[in-house]
Amino acid sequence: MQPATCNMQMSTNQRIAQLLAETADLMEIAQEDGFRIRSYRNAAAAIEGSPEQMADILADPRRKLTDIKGIGKGIAFVIGEIVERGSFERRDEMLTRYPPTALELLKIQGLGPKSIGLLWEHYRVSTVDQLEALCREGKLRELPRMGQKLEEKVLRSIETYRRGAGRFLLSHADEVAQSLRDWLSQVVPAQRCHIAGSLRRSKETVGDLDLLVESENPLLVLDRFVASPEVGEVLAKGANKASALVGRQQIQVDVRALPSASLGAALQYFSGSKEHNVALRTRAVNRKLSLNEYGLFREGDSTPVAAATEEDIYGALGLAWIAPELREHSGEIESAEQGTLPTLVELSQMRGDLHMHTRESDGRGTLEEMALAAKALGYEYIAITDHSKALAMANGLDEQRALAFARLVEQVNREGHLGIRVLSGIECDILRDGRMDLDDEALAALDFVVASVHSYMNQESGEMTQRLLRAIDNPHVKAIGHPTGRILLHRDAYAYQFEEVATACAAKRVAMEINASPERLDLHASLIRGAKAKGVRFVVDTDAHHPRHLTNMKFGVGMARRGWLEAADILNTQSYENLRKLLRP
């Protein structure tokens, strides 16, 4: 995490939002009033999403900050203070009580703000290293409500955290990339900006962003890039390349400006992966050629054999063009040579979304709002899958509510006024012993049962395997939701015998979900390939908790593509009629 003081422009929306959010976090550690904390958080979200700079509004005597939704008088005052001097009173006060490094501790799974406050009071712990030492010395267990189990859990979480440090969710990288492209297209219309690197490969986390800009005027492009209101510290700027930290999370962005003549070579090179590129260069060398970011060359000849397009380059190496999602050096080059690359599924082939929540449990939209948003995306059908009663915190459905919901959906479909087919579904908890949270009568009344693990994730592998196998045995279960339970950058997959479970899914015709929620992107590509090899079919679903989450489908499709899937492998690329036939009978 960036320390709370930093040398970026002081009054951008990003910076204001960051200061508000940080202060809210610190207030949470201090266990202050939840209402104030929420108002800071809401304001941070409103400001970050605002198309106008707060500083501009403040500078305009005809305008008022309080006209913006989510900004009241108190927050407006705070924003004024930030624009004026780069901080505000409440923040200064919090920073005299806790160092900014305490914020980093919030990223360790298993430690809430309350515990962090306690650790600070007793041991003055404010860094991950100190926390680790404390756990190793067995000192956490001396505090109220903490024990050896928690120490072990925190140590595991620290390990996960360190592995992910400096990486960002794909969705965040995607958002930053889109907004920089929009910015560049406004300020330098005569250019074309392409995404490369791990974002182009749809990797679930991204280290830094690589953008390539085709332009006759590289200096202008780079000048305008670093002038974007979202750009903070500029790390480097040369004749053809600039690097800067961008946005609230300060992701590094590398921008390279280049002529169109070598775009293909640059795209190929900077899209990676490194391993794929190494293999490709070896192939070039074996054919007495050399490959770099400027083109494919014959020895001693400075005119490239291929450079303008990726197709040219792959073609000159005797290969079919390889989709970026496959470029991980895991068999794609051999397939491209033999002409056996899969015809990867595309976003436009998705005909429905079979996992989403509404206000009935922990979602934010109504059935109608979700249905209309899905219809606007061109879908034929959706399944509403609210939680079941074991998730009491999420107000999960019991049998009675589930039955009533099934009847409601029947009626909605009969009336047909939504213009999209709705399946009555549930995301039913798989209980500790593998039983379903709802009885068979309720499950039988519903069209689509997704079974998911939300509890006791620390079970030993054999136990978890049996638990999942038992769930798959339940004849009403149509799919397994977020099958490994991972939370990116926070929590690892739970342990079980994946192959055994995949084999059972194939045999019982239970689909495995590829959960498109950006924090999950669960399943991992290699597991998708493994499951497909066992004969498993998949569903790609967003697990939306708000109508706008439905557009996360693209990330799920990215994962499916990384797993080499074709449309036919995925049930919700099929028409409603076919879907019914393909689902477990």
Residues that bind Ca ion (CB under 5 A): 197-198, 208, 210, 254
Q: Give the span between the Cα atoms of 175 and 189, in whole angstroms.
A: 20
* Closest residue to bound ligand DGT by CB: 272
Nearer to Zn ion, 194 or 478 (CB): 478
Binding mask 195-224 for ligand DGT (x = CB under 6 A): --xx----x--xxx-x--------------
How far apart CA 454 and CA 357 sit, in angstroms, is 15
Q: Does the footprint of ligand DGT cover residue 277 (CB under 6 A)?
A: yes
CB-based contacts of 216: which residues, under 8 Å, 6+ apart? 190, 259
Residue 434 interacts, among Ca ion, ligand DGT, Zn ion, none and using kind-specific CB cut-offs from 5 to 8 Å, with none
In what order do the strands lie in the sheet containing 251-258? 192-196, 209-214, 251-258, 241-246, 231-237
DSSP letter at 52 equals S
**For ligand DGT, the closer CB: 206 or 583:** 206
- In terms of CB distance, is 310 or 569 closer to ligand DGT? 310
Phi, psi of 371, deg, nearest 5: -65, -45
3-state secondary structure of 571: helix
- If phi > 0 it is left, if psi is from -120 to 50 it is alpha, else beta; for residue 564 that is left
In one letter, which amino acid is 24? Answer: A
Nearest to 327 by CA among 378, 265, 386, 278: 278
Considering only the stretches 5-13, 131-139, 451-459, 501-509, report the one whose residues sit in contact with Zn ion under the rule CB under 5 A.
451-459
Question: Which residue's CB is nearer to Ca ion, number 173 or number 514?
Answer: 173
126 binds, among Zn ion, ligand DGT, Ca ion, none (CB under 5 to 8 A by kind): none
- CA gap 265, 55 in Å, rounded: 42
Q: Beta 538-541 vs 511-515: how paired, if at all?
A: parallel
Decide whether 28 or 210 has the Cβ nearer to ligand DGT.
210
Nearer to ligand DGT among residue 27 and residue 489 (C-beta): 489
DSSP string for residues in 132-149: HHHHHTT-GGGSTT--HH
| Residue found by looking up tokens 């490194």 in the block | 274
- By CB under 5 A, residue 198 contacts Zn ion: no
Could you tell me whether strands 168-169 and 289-292 are parallel, antiparallel, or unpaired per DSSP bridges?
unpaired
Of 209 and 322, which has the nearer Cβ to Ca ion? 209
Nearest-approach distance from CB 69 to Zn ion, in angstroms: 30
Number of amino acids touching ligand DGT (CB under 6 A): 14
Residue 290 in tokens: 């050399």
Q: Is 385 a residue that touches Zn ion (CB under 5 A)? A: no
Q: What share of the chain is helix, strand, coil (3-state, %, to 5)?
A: 50, 15, 35
CB closer to ligand DGT, 332 vs 429: 332
* 8 Å CB contact between 520 and 482: yes
> Smallest distance from the beta carbon of 211 to Ca ion, in angstroms?
9
- Which of 114, 141, 163, 274 forms a contact with ligand DGT (CB under 6 A)? 274
For position 170 contacting ligand DGT by CB under 6 A, the verdict is no
* Interaction between residue 273 and ligand DGT (CB under 6 A): yes
- The piece of 115-123, 265-273, 366-374, 499-507 that touches ligand DGT (CB under 6 A) is 265-273
C-beta neighbour count of 264 within 10 angstroms:
21
Residue 270 binding result from Ca ion, Zn ion, ligand DGT, none, given CB thresholds of 5 to 8 Å by partner type: ligand DGT
Q: Which is nearer to Ca ion, 206 or 502 (CB)?
A: 206
* Shortest distance, position 391 Cβ to Zn ion, whole Å: 8
Q: Is-contact 265 313, C-beta < 8 A?
A: yes
List C-alpha distances in Å: 541 to 11, 51, 107, 422, 511. Answer: 39, 30, 27, 15, 12
Which lies closer to ligand DGT via its Cβ, residue 264 or residue 352?
264
452 binds, among ligand DGT, Zn ion, Ca ion, none (CB under 5 to 8 A by kind): Zn ion
d(CA 356, CA 37): 28
Amino acid identity of 266? Answer: A
- Kindly state whether residue 452 participates in binding Zn ion, applying the rule CB under 5 A: yes
Examine residue 522 and tell whether it contacts ligand DGT (CB under 6 A). Answer: no
Decide which of Ca ion, ligand DGT, Zn ion, none touches 191; Cβ closer than 5 to 8 Å per partner kind.
none
> Judged by CB under 6 A, which of 59, 133, 278, 533 binds ligand DGT?
278
- Minimum distance between the CB of residue 543 and ligand DGT, rounded to whole angstroms? 24
| Nearest residue to 157 (alpha-carbon basis) of 455, 490, 496 | 490
DSSP 381: E
Interacting residues toward ligand DGT by CB under 6 A: 197-198, 203, 206-208, 210, 269-270, 272-274, 277-278
Interacting residues toward Zn ion by CB under 5 A: 452
